[in-house]
Amino acid sequence: MDSAVVAAQATHLICGYLHDVSGGLVRHQPGSAIDQLCALVAGRLARTHLGAHVFAELERQPTEPGRQELAVRALTDAAGQDPVFASVLSAAVQTAAAAHPAAHWVGSGSRLADQQPATPVQQPAVPVQPAVFPPAVSPLAPVPLTPVGATGAPDSGGYPVGVHAGYPRPGTLSQLPVGSGSPAPTRRGNALALGILGAVAVIAVGTVVISQASGNDQATSRPGAAGALATAKDFLHANLNDDAPRLCELLSADALAEIEQQGDCVEVLTDMSVRLPPDILDEAAREIDRLTEDQVEMRGEDSAAVPYRSTELSLVREADGWRVSGGLGF
């Protein structure tokens, strides 16, 4: 089956399910076929920062067409690049469709009720066994969900925002101002997806605990903290603004070498450019502007980490200043 068709079908099933669970129309069913499909998709998209944000936004507003489109695009790309994942996703969609027809999950108040996918979900001719997701395809185990009526997000209907370990809560993608002395480039509606840099470093799943300095003047007394933060802001700003040349300049020697095994750094990152909607870019600007020096964790004279959503940027000090060595999905 075509990757785009499978991606659209998966998104349709997941959106209907998320809508009806959050609205209290159905209860979450741990271990069900549709729940396994959600876990598979969440785990796969969580491999990159952008993918994690796409799923978190879909979970927050599952009936919003723009977020549905981004999810379909991200899944189509993932399936197109990984035949094993494409096969597992197709099997999971067939299993979920057979066990939980889309009409069951879409309540009468859902906009999805009138938005069936262009290609109907293809029901299997024979019963399909529940899909088995190998660890390599679904690396993040789902977190048990709160039953309807139990404690959870106020508007979650028992399906808390960010239920799968590893993908960020919605509404926290960030943009930082350029580091000191750098002119701020004009923001465009794109951001570079850095999932292609997966070999450089492994990001810790879940929320990063940042060491907080006690007192008002201790942060400024830590040598290197200000420089590390400025480089992190410069890097994240370049990421949000499609400035591939600047991203390459700010990478550590080792990180740059990893990328250039695949080709010229600027060309590789430019090819990975993914369009983001303006509202996400605006939210990003507000969030990263709030990062402060006291959030920088110094790990020695030449190593530091700066928090970014539920992950962090790792930095090393090289001869020409602080450089990014890992993070943001790479």
Angle between helices 278-289 and 225-240 (to 10 degrees): 180
Query: Quick one: pLDDT at residue 140?
Result: 29
> Which parts of the chain register pLDDT below 70?
1, 100-222, 272-277, 280-281, 285, 309-310, 328-330
Query: Quick one: pLDDT at residue 67?
Result: 87
Query: Quick one: pLDDT at residue 241?
Result: 80
Block residue for tokens 């129309």: 25
Q: Are 19 and 62 in contact (CB under 8 A)?
A: yes
Query: Quick one: pLDDT at residue 275?
Result: 56
Report residue 96 as tokens: 């979920």
Query: Quick one: pLDDT at residue 329?
Result: 52
Phi, psi of 221 (to 5 degrees): -85, -5
Report residue 288 as tokens: 């990263």
Q: Are 49 and 329 in contact (CB under 8 A)?
A: yes
**75-99: b or e for each residue (b if 16 or more CB lie within 10 Å)?**
bbbbbeebeebbebbbbbbbbbbbb
Query: Quick one: pLDDT at residue 274?
Result: 56
Query: Quick one: pLDDT at residue 101?
Result: 56
Query: Quick one: pLDDT at residue 179?
Result: 31
Confidence (pTM): 0.42
Phi, psi of 212 (to 5 degrees): -100, 130
> What is the per-residue pLDDT across 3-39, written as a single tens digit (0 to 9) for each?
889 999 999 999 988 888 888 887 877 888 888 899 9
